[in-house]
Amino acid sequence: MITLVKQETFKLLHKKSTYAVSATLLIIMTVFGVLTRNYPKYWGDPKGLFVTMFTGINWIVLFMIAACSSIIAMEFQYGTIKELLYRKYYRGQILVSKWITMLLYSIYFYVLAFVWSMLLKVVLFNNKFQLSDTYQPGHSVINSMWLGIVGSFLTVWLVLSLVLLLANIFKSTAAAISIGIIGYFALSIISNIMFVLMQKWDWLKWNPLNMMNLPSQLVSSSFHKMTLLSTPEMVVGSLVYTAIFMAISYVIFKRRSV
């Protein structure tokens, strides 16, 4: 299994896009940092920006959606799936090695964005706010950031498990990427309707889109009045949905003819 993860990492590290994406993330974060520092009137509160890792937290979702769909779909696209599968390893191992690689990649992104956020904070906003300042009632800036990262990590993986599944079904990056992105960002558009419907049909609160509200709920304690779920319920819900999508992927991948 370690060999397989190494092989997946080898491929990832030899793609130019891997480096381009990391560089892009850092540049975008820096641009948002600089703009907020120089034009605070238009760009708002630097604390809020810092808590979202200078918007990095959203870009990571995009980049991970692309990476996850590509790590599965590229094997079908390049015809390399046969080479992967006929070896002494089992299909399940091949798929799991890809998941592990993506898990490591997502952790890498969060660490990178976090470290860069700290740097930007020191360089651009050293005197503007302290990490211990209050951000939300009961939560300091750094605390809010941590909760945001943890919540985002769980919900991102809920989306990614769906993306991995779709890439597996459609064998194409395009379909998986579009649905993944729409799924993630659809929330802000339809959440109001969803909350209304949930008041009417209580069981709707268990739908996967509602789980995506976890990051907001972690920071703002009153949010559970909208989601109708307690925070532990949401954490478990996210994990269960992720597990379900992964399990379906696993079964499909094992049965697929190549």
Partner 1 sequence: MSDTILNVEHLNKNFGKKQVLKDVSFSVQTGHIVGLVGPNGAGKSTIMKAVLGLFNYASGTITIDGEPVSPTSHKAMDKVGALIEYPGIYPFLTGYQHLELFSKDSTSKDQIMDIVDKMKMDSYINRKAKTYSLGMKQKLGIALALVDRPKLVILDEPMNGLDPQANKDLRTIILDLAKQGTTLLISSHILSELEKLIDDLVVIDKGQIVYTKSMAELESGSKKLLVLKTSDDAKAKEILAQNNYQLDNGDKFAIVENDQTKMADVIKLLSDNGIDIDDVQHVHSDLETSLLNLLKNDKVKES
List residues near partner 1 by CB under 8 A.
3, 7, 10-11, 14-16, 74-75, 78-83, 85-91, 254, 257-258
Residue 74 Cβ vs partner 1, minimum distance, rounded to whole Å: 8
In Å, how far are 26, 62, 67, 101, 208 from 120, measured between CA atoms? Answer: 10, 22, 26, 28, 35
DSSP reduced 3-state for 136: strand
Distance CA 123, CA 26 (A): 14
Q: For 147-173, give the secondary structure using H, E and C.
A: HHHHHHHHHHHHHHHHHHHHHHHHCCH
Question: At residue 137, what is the residue type?
Answer: P
3-state secondary structure of 134: strand
Least distance in Å: CB of 93 to partner 1? 10
Q: How far apart are CA 80 and CA 108, in angstroms?
A: 26
For partner 1, give the closer residue by CB, 4 or 219.
Answer: 4
Nearer to partner 1, 79 or 232 (CB): 79
In whole angstroms, the minimum distance from the beta carbon of 15 to partner 1 comes to: 5
Q: What is the DSSP letter of 91?
A: H
C-alpha 82/C-alpha 64 separation (Å) is 25
Query: Contact at 8 Å (CB) between 33 and 49?
Result: yes
Q: Which is nearer to partner 1, 78 or 203 (CB)?
A: 78
CB of 9 to partner 1, least distance (A): 11
Cβ proximity of 228 and 198 under 8 Å: yes
Structure tokens at 128: 């503007």
- Least gap, CB of 180 to partner 1 (angstroms): 22
Q: Of the two residues 83 and 133, which places its CB atom closer to partner 1 in the complex? A: 83
Q: Closer to partner 1 at the Cβ: 190 or 258?
A: 258
Structure tokens at 98: 């890809």
In 3D space, the residue among 161, 164, 184 whose CA is nearest the CA of residue 175 turns out to be 164
- In eight-state DSSP terms, residue 230 is -
Nearer to partner 1, 11 or 224 (CB): 11
The least CB distance from residue 71 to partner 1, in Å, is 12
Q: How far is the CB of 13 from partner 1 (least distance, A)?
A: 10
- If the CB atoms of residues 41 and 88 are measured against partner 1, the closer one turns out to be 88
